[in-house]
Amino acid sequence: MREHLKACMQAVLEGDGERAEELAKLTLERKLPLLEVIDGGFVAGIREVGRLWEEGALFLPELVMGAEAMKMAMGVLQPALEASGGKQEKAGHVVIGTIEGDIHDIGKTLVATMLSANGFGITDLGADVPAAKFVDEAEKRGAGCIAVSALLTTTMPGQKKVIEELRKRSLRGKVRVMVGGAPCSEKWAEDIGADGYAGDAVSAVALAKKFMA
Ligand code: B1M
């Protein structure tokens, strides 16, 4: 298992999409624990890419190639991860997306997949989503929760706009707001008046369950 995790991490670090995809397929063939492989292998790889990029040891195209390799692996693993929850009663509906100005969607998609695997109905709006669009969709779907991802310090304030938009439409009491993404924190959630913060996909599921209880 350790060797497999190392290989997954390395494939992302090298921006080798074909190898990442091959390793993801091997993960399924060998019936290895999906979350452990995603977190300890592919996510570890993309975080290391980010660290090296910040240090100036990698260039932007290498960052993009690492992200592409990560996405190719996730393309193979997501259906299996989604199916791993089995058939469950719908736990409620969540509208999820990455806020306007921000195109980071890997973490958000992982959260959406995990929520879906745990019985939540999901409307995934993708990335670069205006605040009003989250609220439009929540209204349309009768969603109990809006989950807003932000990976950039410059786009985090957009999460607050979603809450303001809910207030404007007198929906704040009906829809819970969860925030997440690397620069967010419990304190940030409190500061902007969100209902909660989740640091990873597993805690996002726990928080959504708490909201819907
Ligand atoms: Co960008 N980028 N990037 N990038 N990138 C970061 C975020 C950065 C920290 C890198 C760095 O400097 N070390 C930095 C932000 C600095 C800051 O704001 N302080 C940065 C920057 C600066 C940029 C650009 C501005 C670079 C440039 O163009 N000069 C640019 C911005 C473009 C834009 O959005 N407008 C940019 C572009 C890109 C790529 C396109 C190349 C690519 C994204 C590809 C894609 O997503 N389709 C990319 C990547 C890959 C990264 C890093 C390396 C990895 C992000 C990732 O996918 N992590 C990242 C460094 C890092 O995070 N360490 C970085 C893996 C993922 C599984 O984790 O997203 O944290 P994460 O999600 C976790 C949790 O946070 C949580 O659960 C997930 C699973 O555990 N979570 C939620 C996430 N959303 C949640 C929502 C929830 C609950 C939990 O409910 C609402």
Q: For 138-195, what is each residue's pLDDT tens digit?
A: 999 999 999 999 999 999 999 999 999 999 999 999 999 999 999 999 999 999 999 9
> Residue 89's pLDDT is what?
54
Nearest residue by C-alpha to atom 72 in ligand 1: 107
Residue span(s) of the chain under CATH 1.10.1240.10 come to 2-83
Q: 2-83, which class in CATH?
A: mainly alpha
pLDDT, mean of residues 24-44:
92
Question: Which regions of 19-119 does DSSP assign to beta strands (E)?
Answer: 92-98
Residue 66 CA, closest ligand 1 atom number? 50
The residues lining ligand 1, judged by C-beta closer than 6 Å to any ligand atom, are 43, 46-47, 49-50, 53-54, 63-64, 67, 101-108, 110-111, 147-149, 151-153, 178-183, 198, 200-201, 204
> Residue 78's pLDDT is what?
85
Comparing 67-76, 127-136, 161-170, the range with the smallest average pLDDT is: 67-76
Q: From CA 117, how far away is CA 111, in angstroms rounded?
A: 10
The percent of residues above 90 in pLDDT, for the chain, comes to 76
And the tokens for 95? Answer: 């509208």
* CA 160 vs CA 91, 149, 164: distances in Å: 26, 11, 6
Residue 151 CA, closest ligand 1 atom number? 7
Q: Are 152 and 101 in contact (CB under 8 A)?
A: yes
Q: Which amino acid belongs to residue 163?
A: I
pLDDT, mean of residues 28-37:
92
- Of residues 97 and 91, more confidence is placed in 97
The percent of residues above 70 in pLDDT, for the chain, comes to 98
Q: From CA 35, how far away is CA 113, in angstroms rounded?
A: 11
> Residue 116's pLDDT is what?
85
Nearest residue by C-alpha to atom 52 in ligand 1: 50
Q: From CA 176, how far away is CA 200, in angstroms rounded?
A: 18
CA of 133 to the centre of ligand 1 (A): 21
Residue 152 CA, closest ligand 1 atom number? 18
How would residue 87 be classed by pLDDT, with cut points 50, 70 and 90? low
Angle at 152 between CA 126 and CA 55, to 5 degrees: 125
Nearest residue by C-alpha to atom 50 in ligand 1: 67
- What is the DSSP annotation of 91-115? -EEEEEEEBTT----HHHHHHHHHH
pLDDT, mean of residues 57-64:
90
Residue span(s) of the chain under CATH 3.40.50.280 come to 92-212
18 pLDDT higher than 90: yes
Contacts of 125 (CB under 8 A, 6+ apart): 95, 96, 97, 133, 134, 137
Q: Cβ-count burial of 191 within 10 angstroms (0-12 exposed, 13-18 middle, 19+ buried)?
A: exposed
Nearest residue by C-alpha to atom 14 in ligand 1: 152
And the tokens for 154? Answer: 């410059």
How would residue 65 be classed by pLDDT, with cut points 50, 70 and 90? very high
Residue 148 CA, closest ligand 1 atom number? 91
Reduce the DSSP state of residue 177 to 3 states and report it.
Answer: strand
128 pLDDT higher than 60: yes
Residue 38 CA, closest ligand 1 atom number? 67
The CATH number corresponding to 92-212 among 3.30.980.10, 3.10.350.10, 3.40.50.1480, 3.40.50.280 equals 3.40.50.280
- What is the DSSP annotation of 120-135? EEEEE--SSB-HHHHH
> Residue 91's pLDDT is what?
79
Nearest residue by C-alpha to atom 25 in ligand 1: 152
Ligand 1 pocket test, pick from 151, 178, 202, 205 with the greatest ligand atom count within 8 Å of Cβ, gives: 151
